[in-house]
Chain A
């Protein structure tokens, strides 16, 4: 699992059946200072998040298990991070 920040959302005009009614977000990994690192990527989300939210993201084959029916996804947001404490720094979402 990793900590990422929501950059925005993605809308699909056509999609395979498992992606119908699913919300997708554009996310970017963050470092210990909660600054963005690496490239932006797309993740399905268990629940719609807001732009700027820090989120818990599962990036593995287990991501497909986040919904009642299996979805062919390898990244899924499974939680909103309200409070992040890393060593001597503390961050609150929002």
Chain B
């Protein structure tokens, strides 16, 4: 799982049914944007500026969509209030 910061949102009115009613967040995982804009579906009501935990597992996608086999896996599963380790070394 990744520690990220929410830096924006994406509005999509034309989308796969699995994204219906879901908020899509732009998240920054601290790689300097080298891999382009990263997105994750919000499951916890996170907003811009929040430090969040992003899970990249199919199970998280299944949980947030209610589908057994969803076509997505990046999900914001928690808002981080406090962490004590150096996040630059977290994976």
Q: Identify A2's interface contact among B7, B15, B19, B39, CB under 8 A.
A: B39
Interface set, chain A 44-87, CB cutoff 8 A to B: 46-47, 56, 58, 60-66, 70, 76, 78-87
Asked if A31 meets B15 with Cβ closer than 8 Å, knowing A56-B10, A62-B73, A65-B70, the reply is no
A-B pair count, CB < 8 Å, reads 118
Q: Flag if B33 contacts A31 (CB, 8 Å).
A: yes
Interface extent on A, as a size class? 20 to 34
- A: which residues have CB within 8 A of B? 1-4, 29-32, 34, 37-38, 46-47, 56, 58, 60-66, 70, 76, 78-87
Q: Flag if A61 contacts B58 (CB, 8 Å).
A: yes
Distance between Cα atoms of A15 and B1 in the complex (Å)? 36
Tell me how far the C-beta of B58 lies from the nearest C-beta in chain A, rounded to whole angstroms.
5
